[in-house]
Amino acid sequence: MGYLRIILVAVVVFAVALLFSPVVQMIGEPLVVKDPLRKADAVVVLSGGWENENKLSQSTLERYKYGMKLYQKGYGHYIIFSGGNMNGNPSEAEKMAEMALTDGFPNETIIIEGNSESTWENTLFVKKILLDRQLKTVILVTSPYHTLRAKTMFKEKGIDVTTAPVLNSEFFAATGTDNYRIARLIFTEYLKFGLYKLNIIR
């Protein structure tokens, strides 16, 4: 009974630490890549899914906002939104482009890549856009925990990339039960990155 009590106490302590301390962020820190910002031909914003059928997820919205902020500051001549929708239309990229137009950004600077359904496809389809438009350098905007895998894929496709994780991301700010969701995202990201490096998945 004594051992069981110790195990239960340990579980409770770990659960409390997970909820109310930065332990989740510490575990996810090796996944975060932040490069010194420099001007590029385009700012590339990777989508992060939907919250429900009609609403973009918090990850997608924060990526959108940070990408547009960098574009406004002159870090890119174009803004490329990348992300499809496995559930139908519109794509996440189209939805972000619609938001950008509503926010007053010029149509001629917006490029939509709305077919990708994975980070690997983001890379392939953005690479094609860059080649077609003779663009050479990009600033890659995504969630902090996603930057290592995304940058690795972009670099391995020969893209000159500067990685810009969202500064005020939910990854850094999550507390309470939100930390459980972030913990699942981090675990999944480690798994996907490991399988990618082993050439098991793309």
pLDDT digits (tens, 9 = 90+) for 88-147: 779 999 999 999 999 999 999 999 999 999 999 999 999 999 999 999 999 999 999 999
List the chain domain ranges: 2-197
Query: Is 80 exceeded by the pLDDT of residue 187?
Result: yes
Instruction: Flag whether pLDDT at 14 surpasses 60.
Output: no
Contact 42, 77 (CB under 8 A): yes
pLDDT tens across 24-62, in order?
888 899 999 999 999 999 999 999 999 887 899 999 999
What is the predicted pLDDT for the residue at 9? 53
pLDDT at 41: 98
Q: What is the length of the chain?
A: 202
Assess contact for 19 and 179: CB atoms under 8 A.
yes
CATH superfamily for 2-197 is: HUPs (3.40.50.620)
Whether 4 shows a pLDDT value over 70: the answer reads no
Residues 6+ apart with CB under 8 A from 4: none
- Which range has the worst mean pLDDT, 8-17, 42-51, 72-81, 152-161? 8-17
Q: How many angstroms separate the Cα of 201 from the Cα of each of 86, 182, 183, 191?
A: 18, 22, 22, 10
